[in-house]
Amino acid sequence: MILALLRRAGLVATAALLALLALATPAAAHGADAPDGTDYRTEATGLTPARPGLTVRAVEAGARLELVNRTGRDVEVIGYSGEPYLRVGPAGAYENSRSPATYLNRTLAGDTTLPPEADPAAPPQWRRIADEPRVRWHDQRTQWRESGPPAQAVADPTRTHRVRDWAVPVRDGAEQVEIRGTLDWVPPPDPYPWWVAATLGFLAVAGAGLVPAGSVAGDRALRAVGALLALGGAAAVVLVVGRELDAGAEGVGGVLSGLLSGQIWPLLTGLGALAAGGYALARRPAAADFALALSGACLALFAGVTNLGVLSRAVAPVPWPGQYARLLLLAVLIGGAGAVGAGILRLHAASRTAPAATTHTEVPA
C-alpha cells in the first residue's frame, strides 16, 4: 500500500508539473496585463481640474489606468493622435475601433499590428466593452518604453528616481481635463538573500522527514511540517487576494469574482495546503504523508513558481510594500517545497520498512 501511495504521489506531482507547463503560455500572455513585478512605480495623482464623480487610479502594479465616471455624463479619453479613444458614461464603456490606441493598448508591450481600419482622422466607431461606467486600459504615456533603465538609474542605481510626470488628456463635453501622475524607477531588491532563506527553509522542513515515523519525535515532526504547510497555504491565499485588490477588485463580491475567473489554481492550491496541513496535524501518518507531498507540490508550483518575479522586482502586484509580498512568497516556497521533501522522505522510509516487516513475520506451519 505504501509503495502504491508513493507511485501515486510521483504520478500526481508529474501531472501537476505538466499542467503548469501547459498553462505557461496562457499565463505569460495574461502576465502582459498583470505583471508579476516591475521596477517602475506608476501612480495616478488625480485629475486637473478636478471633476466630482470622476476618479482615476493605477491598477495591476501600474500596468493599467482605471477611470470611473459617476458624473451622469459621458467623458472621452483621448488617444495618441488626439482622436477619441475611450468613452465612458451612464450607458457603460466604449472603445473607438478606428483609434490606433485601441489596438496598441491591447498588450502592455504595445506591439499589436494596426489593422487597416485604424485611422485617427476617421469618425469614431464606438463598440461597447463594459456595461458599467468604468474602464481600464494600458497607456503608453504612463510607462517606460525603453529596454534598459533610464540614465539616472544607471548612474545611481541605489535610490529611487523620478523618470517623468505624465498626463493623459480627457474630454468632458467641450472642456479639456488631464489625468496626471508620476513614473518612478525604484531600485530592485537583491534576490540572493531570499533564495538563500528559501533554500535553508526547504532543507530544514524537508529534514523533518528523516525523523523516524511512529515515534514521539516523528509525530511532532509531522505536525510541524503540517503547520508550516498550512502557513504556506494561508500565505498563498493572502497573495492571490492581494493581486485581485491591486487589479482593482472592490468588495467581497468583486474579489471573489476575480479569484474564480483568474486566480482559481493558486487559490485552490492554497486552500488545499491548509486542508492537508490540518490533516497532518490530526496525526494520520500514512495518508498524511501522501497529502503533504501532493499538496506541497501543487502549492510550490502554482502559487510559488508562478510568482518568482516578486523576489527580484521592486514593485509587486499587491496593495502593500514589496517586502511583504516577498515574505509571503517565502512562506509559500518553504511550506510547499519543504512539505514535498518531508512527505517523500517519509513515504520512502515507510516503503522500505514494510518489506522488512514482512520478511521477519513468521508464517505458521
Q: With H, G, I as helix, E, B as strand and everything else as coil, classify residue 125.
A: coil
Give CA–CA dist 32/306, Å, rounded: 14
Dihedral, CA of residue 341, residue 345, residue 347 and residue 350, to nearest 10: -170
Q: Which of 182, 178, 300, 328 is nearest to 243 (CA)?
A: 328
**Is the Cβ–Cβ distance between 112 and 103 less than 8 Å?**
yes
- Burial class (CB within 10 angstroms; exposed 0-12, middle 13-18, buried 19+) of 159: exposed
Does the pTM exceed 0.85?
A: no
Q: How many CB atoms lie within 10 A of CB 175?
A: 10
In which region does residue 122 sit, left (phi positive, over 0), alpha (psi from -120 to 50) or beta (all else)?
Answer: beta
pLDDT tens, residue by residue, 49-99: 999 999 999 999 999 999 999 999 999 999 999 999 999 999 999 999 999
Residue type, 253: G
For the chain, domain boundaries = 40-185, 189-353
pLDDT tens, residue by residue, 94-150: 999 999 999 999 998 888 899 999 999 999 999 999 999 999 999 999 999 998 999
DSSP label of 301: I
